[in-house]
Structure 1
Amino acid sequence: MRILPLLPPPQQEPYTMSKGSGGELEGYCIDLISELSKKLGFTYKLHLVKDNRYGAMDSSGNWNGMIGEVIKGEADLAVAPLTLTAIREQFVDMTTPFMQTGIGFILRKDMAFEQSAFSLLSPFSTDMWVGLLIAFLLTGLCIFLVGRISPSEWAEPDAEEHSFTLLHSFWYITGALTLQGAGPHPKALSGRLVSAIWWLFAILLLACYFANFNSILHSNNKHVSIKSFEDLANQDVIDYGTVEAGSTMHFFKNSNNPVYRRIYQHMERKKSYVSSMEEGYRLAQEGNFAFIGEAVSLDLAVARYCQLTRSQEVVAMRAYSIAAPLGSPWVKNLTIAILQLSESGELTYLRDKWWASSCMGADEAQTSEALQPHDLRGLFLLLGLGLGVGLLLALLELLSKARNQAKDSKKSCCSVLTSELNWRFGSGGESAEQDTTDKSKA
């Protein structure tokens, strides 16, 4: 059997493509032919259509392309993404469709933005907010520990009340985030160092937040939410177009739907047509452009270019079928075989095989303008270094006091240091305070 797959320049990925340098063919349609031959038990020979066209009727009533070769008897079957149309059905027999499609559009993911009630959080990514929460908790804990450890901050644990409780420590750094002080302030060098680092961190963080928030607020592409063709027609922020003189353009041109008519008039007025689908994909990736085309082809572009997304709305549903000469005895058997392949899930498998996404594991957040933790890693490193140095200074202050007390009391430095830490973090300080209070009352 002579079968025509279509191989236009450039090749129509993923239906029919050259495999290596030996001239072999591969693709969805090649696999489909192979499966049909196994079910029906026929052998076949592939050859490419001469004029690289699907088939259209000229003014004199003659057909070119694949349909023309089938009509002339030069091929027994044409297996390609041939759209099932009324005019073609008059001149050739076509099987039940092996693939359904329609008209949709693709655009950059950030163009399909939808306003959210949580837009105030949009300048920072989710990971960034989690990092900030961790930094806030660690800083509050560090202030608390420095206030407990440093003898300059808490000189007499058995007689004085501790100023920097855990709750006050968090309240103090919260005041810094709002650029408002919350006293009392640290007196020790270690506490002041931690406070200064946190204030610097807060100021730079707020500067980054408001700068990015202003950028998002004034970004033109964030003022629209494009989910459907009506959304596309009702906005003038981004341009849109389709392949010039293609079937998609003729659909909008001949449609009586007012939305589709407005879309066609916009494309005519702006001359926003493209010469090829590849050009449409490129413009969509560059931004401020929505490319309109057949959904099945757009799905392939989305699978290859991770920053693109396809509209959920698909209109003008159409189907791809296999063409055969009028009265061909193969059409009935091919229709049954295609239905069997559909029922067994083989057509779904072939679709998943050739439309497999290369974007698996890609970080979708990279298409967003939200700041990521790695964007401010220097700021987090500065904060971490400041907290570490502050704790170290507090320990050195306590160690210095312990050494002086050890000399005066003729005790070992380690025992005095251990005793101090027990007073500051154990229950000894509270018991001594209670005893002193009871004695004063007596």
Structure 2
Amino acid sequence: MKGYMALVFCAAALTACIITTDAKEISITTIKEDPYAMSRGSELEGYCIDLISTLAKNLGLTYKVHLVKDGRYGAVDSSGNWSGMIGEVMRGEADLAVAPLTLTAAREHVVDMTTPYMQTGIGFILHKDLASEENTFSLLSPFSTDMWVGILIAFLLTGLCIFLVGRISPTEWSEPDTEEHSFTLLHSFWYITGALTLQGAGPHPKALSGRLVSAIWWLFAVLLLACYFSNFSSTLHSNNKHVSIKSFEDLANQDLIDYGTVEGGSTMAFFKHSNNPVYRRIYEQMERKKSYASSMEEGVRLALERNYAFIGEAVSLDLAAARYCKLIRSQEVVAMRAYAIAAPRGSPLVKSLSIAILQLSESGELTYLRNKWWASSCIGAADANNSHALQPHDLRSLFLLLGLGLGVGLLLALLELIFKARNQAKDGKKSCCSVLTSELNRRFGSGGESAEQDCSDKSKA
């Protein structure tokens, strides 16, 4: 009986111990990196913070988060000691490390890691100018596509306006029945083409309206050509015109721009231990120039401010490209890898966390968190054009001037015709309307006499 009571007492004590252990507040280490963990006042927010909260709620855990003391992910030094979050987990300073922590063989050897919660790879970001290919149609690069469309519309409207003014103005075409019209539709377009090339093509307009339209188009052409050649010259003298970086092999085969990764991270270790000759050259170049970045933030800043390609985890680089429109991530992604949560060897939390992560993946919660924190918010989108091509709004006043000139020219041509019709109506004692209609029919089609006769018959009736 006493033995049975002692057994019950031991079982109760063990149960209480387990409950107490389960209710113990666990310590979680993380690293400050956008958007995984960011400061918001005295608190932290981000993808990993939301992930911790969701996992803890599903597993009934209480926790406390702190930032890793040395600001590193975790790498082993020459004496075999681990730094960063991995080191804190190994020394018992943290129960879990929840961060963009790459799952590697070296880390798996010293800590336990859960099922990955995010898949990624190694890529690089750089300024869009450095990633652009040589443009086969470089003669078109000073103007944007919208600008070229605007110029084509302006060309067609001006040619049509010259044609209409040449037909409407009595000074330009005084006797439609006997004289040949100089400004046919073909000659009108040929005339403004000559003006656009600063050559000219006769005959020239004689009427005030035609001369006004011609002068406005010449002014438009001269200013447009000045803008074109100015921008074309700056494009030719760009320092980056011979650089086009698309892949890691392109990086390794050039010396015009520097490149690097976060010092002491898993990406650096990948290039250091790779047997691929291209990746080895990249590592040797980084070692020779000491072109490493101390953090992800510094790498992004260097890519924005200098001729620099920052190599890192593709998922983190996607965020930088979404935030800064001047940057672009390489299409090539190598060494596919994954992010996971680290725990001490033999931790009972690993199995529960792995199952919970799989459930979040199946329910779409991980996808929701990814979309939430990787939303695009291009900073400086107005300056993001990689070719610096002129846009229509840059020459808005020039197009407005041309439109105003065409409108005034047409109005003057109509006034000239109305004035002539009025004088003829007085001399012939006819209505101004009938004379004007007859003139328009003679200039734009046949049947002027019949129209005039119909108007006369109606007047007599």
Query: Normalising to structure 2: TM-score of the pair?
Result: 0.84
Q: Is the 8 A contact 1:6 1:54 kept in 2?
A: no
In structure 2, which of residues 293, 300, 308 is the aligned counterpart of residue 289 of structure 1? 308
For 1:309 and 1:108, the matched residues in 2 are separated by 6
Confirm whether residue 132 of structure 1 aligns to residue 151 of structure 2.
yes
Offset, 1:73: 4.0
Aligned partner letter, 1:254 = H
Offset, 1:276: 3.1
Gaps of 5+ in 2: 1-23, 452-461
Residues 130-155 of structure 1, C-alpha deviations (whole Å, 9 max, x = no match): 10111011101100110111001110
Residues 123-182 of structure 1, C-alpha deviations (whole Å, 9 max, x = no match): 110110110111011101100110111001110122223222223222222232233333
Confirm whether residue 358 of structure 1 aligns to residue 369 of structure 2.
no
Residues 415-441 of structure 1, C-alpha deviations (whole Å, 9 max, x = no match): 433332232234235989xxxxxxxxx
Residues 197-251 of structure 1, C-alpha deviations (whole Å, 9 max, x = no match): 2122223222322332232233231222211111122223333233344443343
Residues 65-114 of structure 1, C-alpha deviations (whole Å, 9 max, x = no match): 43344334454322222222223222221112112222221111122111
In structure 2, which of residues 117, 120, 125 is the aligned counterpart of residue 98 of structure 1? 117
Aligned sequence identity (%): 81
Moved more, 291-300 or 180-189: 180-189
Aligned partner letter, 2:39 = S
In structure 1, which of residues 247, 258, 276 is the aligned counterpart of residue 277 of structure 2? 258
In structure 1, which of residues 153, 159, 166 is the aligned counterpart of residue 178 of structure 2? 159
In structure 2, which of residues 240, 248, 251 is the aligned counterpart of residue 221 of structure 1? 240
* C-alpha RMSD of the superposition: 2.7
Confirm whether residue 13 of structure 1 aligns to residue 34 of structure 2.
yes
The aligned counterpart of 1:42 is 60
Are residues 45 and 131 of structure 1, via their aligned partners in 2, closer, same or farther at CA, if it must alter by over 3 Å? same
Moved more, 85-94 or 253-262: 253-262
Aligned partner letter, 2:36 = Y
Are residues 99 and 127 of structure 1, via their aligned partners in 2, closer, same or farther at CA, if it must alter by over 3 Å? same
Are residues 185 and 77 of structure 1, via their aligned partners in 2, closer, same or farther at CA, if it must alter by over 3 Å? same
For 2:264 and 2:113, the matched residues in 1 are separated by 24
Q: Is the 8 A contact 1:220 1:237 kept in 2?
A: no
For 2:198 and 2:189, the matched residues in 1 are separated by 14
Are residues 76 and 430 of structure 1, via their aligned partners in 2, closer, same or farther at CA, if it must alter by over 3 Å? farther
In structure 2, which of residues 251, 254, 258 is the aligned counterpart of residue 235 of structure 1? 254
For 2:123 and 2:139, the matched residues in 1 are separated by 32
SS of the equivalent of 1:105 reads: strand
Aligned partner letter, 2:46 = G
Q: Is the 8 A contact 2:73 2:265 kept in 1?
A: no
Are residues 178 and 64 of structure 1, via their aligned partners in 2, closer, same or farther at CA, if it must alter by over 3 Å? closer
Q: Is the 8 A contact 1:103 1:317 kept in 2?
A: yes
- Following TM superposition, the consecutive aligned residue runs of length 4 or more in structure 1 with deviations greater than 6 angstroms are none
In structure 2, which of residues 176, 187, 196 is the aligned counterpart of residue 168 of structure 1? 187
Aligned partner letter, 1:83 = T
1:8-157 pair list within 5 angstroms: 8=31, 11-19=32-40, 21=41, 23-39=42-58, 41-49=59-67, 51-52=69-70, 53-57=72-76, 61-157=80-176
Aligned partner letter, 2:250 = D
Moved more, 177-186 or 295-304: 177-186
Q: Is the 8 A contact 1:105 1:290 kept in 2?
A: yes
Offset, 1:56: 4.1
The aligned counterpart of 1:440 is none
Aligned partner letter, 1:138 = L
Confirm whether residue 305 of structure 1 aligns to residue 307 of structure 2.
no
Aligned partner letter, 2:253 = N
For 1:428 and 1:199, the matched residues in 2 are separated by 37
1:318-333 pair list within 5 angstroms: 318-333=337-352
SS of the equivalent of 1:339 reads: helix
For 1:116 and 1:33, the matched residues in 2 are separated by 48
The aligned counterpart of 1:407 is 426
For 1:291 and 1:365, the matched residues in 2 are separated by 19
Are residues 3 and 25 of structure 1, via their aligned partners in 2, closer, same or farther at CA, if it must alter by over 3 Å? farther
Confirm whether residue 386 of structure 1 aligns to residue 372 of structure 2.
no
Are residues 202 and 304 of structure 1, via their aligned partners in 2, closer, same or farther at CA, if it must alter by over 3 Å? same
Offset, 1:186: 1.8
Gaps of 5+ in 1: 433-442
For 1:108 and 1:145, the matched residues in 2 are separated by 50
Are residues 200 and 64 of structure 1, via their aligned partners in 2, closer, same or farther at CA, if it must alter by over 3 Å? closer
Offset, 1:64: 4.8
For 1:59 and 1:185, the matched residues in 2 are separated by 86
Q: Is the 8 A contact 1:2 1:47 kept in 2?
A: no
The aligned counterpart of 1:212 is 231
Q: Is the 8 A contact 1:105 1:311 kept in 2?
A: yes
Offset, 1:264: 2.8
Q: Is the 8 A contact 1:7 1:49 kept in 2?
A: yes
Q: Is the 8 A contact 2:29 2:68 kept in 1?
A: no
